[in-house]
A and B are shown apart, each in its own frame.
Chain A
Amino acid sequence: EVQLVESGGGLVQPGGSQRLSCAASGFTFSHYWMHWVRQGPGKGLVWVSRINSDGANAVYADSVKGRFTISRDNAKNTLDLQMNSLRDEDTAVYFCVGGWNYKFDLWGQGTLVTVSS
């Protein structure tokens, strides 16, 4: 069974940092591009970042560029997102997503990050 399980969400103050993790199982993790997609409360989906299959290349949405860093460990089948300088507008459920050929095939259940003082 394919599983993507996110962890690391919680309450963080504006300007603070948070690290999200995603544990993958049930598929060949190292073959997939991996993404983070977020969804603010009552809002739509927003693509955040992508890392390629070997971890050598990462891209980011303009809204998080310079603040967020995506990384992966293919030996441990894990994906991470380091989030710094967090803002109120970063409050969202963050989904870990596996993608093949420019689409989002495999989704985790998400982890909620709340940025508030």
Chain B
Amino acid sequence: QSDLTQPPSVSGSPGQSITISCTGTSSDVGKYDLVSWYQQHPGKAPKLIIYEVNKRPSGASNRFSGSKYANTASLTISGLQTEDEADYYCCSYAISDSWVFGGGTKLTVL
């Protein structure tokens, strides 16, 4: 049950787009289309923003989109807004009926 690999930080200016990668293995990201993404503001609980690689839950902004190729999933945020500044975590269902998270990426909106 190893962590998925995310960049520690990314940054962008308002209005720009950024992409956060999430690299796993053939036992998790590569095996299942069950990657989800979570946004966490400081001191708050995480919030689901993408599930099953590229689906948005009700209420999530359409500026969030997801994709996957082989063992790597990606989250793209378009039209960056100041309120997007937060930590982002990917997560994948994995073999042995378990879940594994990425280490998290801190997004700074300059």
Contacts and interface: CB of A to CB of B under 8 A. Distances in A.
Contacts of B96: 59
Q: Give the size range of B's interface with the partner.
A: 20 to 34
B107 interface: no
- Say what secondary structure dominates the interface of chain A: strand
B38 A47 contact: no
B108 to A, nearest CB: 17
Interface of B: 1, 3, 32, 34, 36, 38, 40, 45-48, 51-52, 57, 89, 91, 93, 96-104
A17 B32 CA distance: 36
Given A37-B101, A50-B99, A59-B97, 14 more contacts: A35-B99, A44-B101, A44-B103, A47-B101, A59-B96, A61-B98, A102-B32, A102-B93, A103-B34, A103-B36, A103-B51, A103-B91, A104-B36, A107-B46
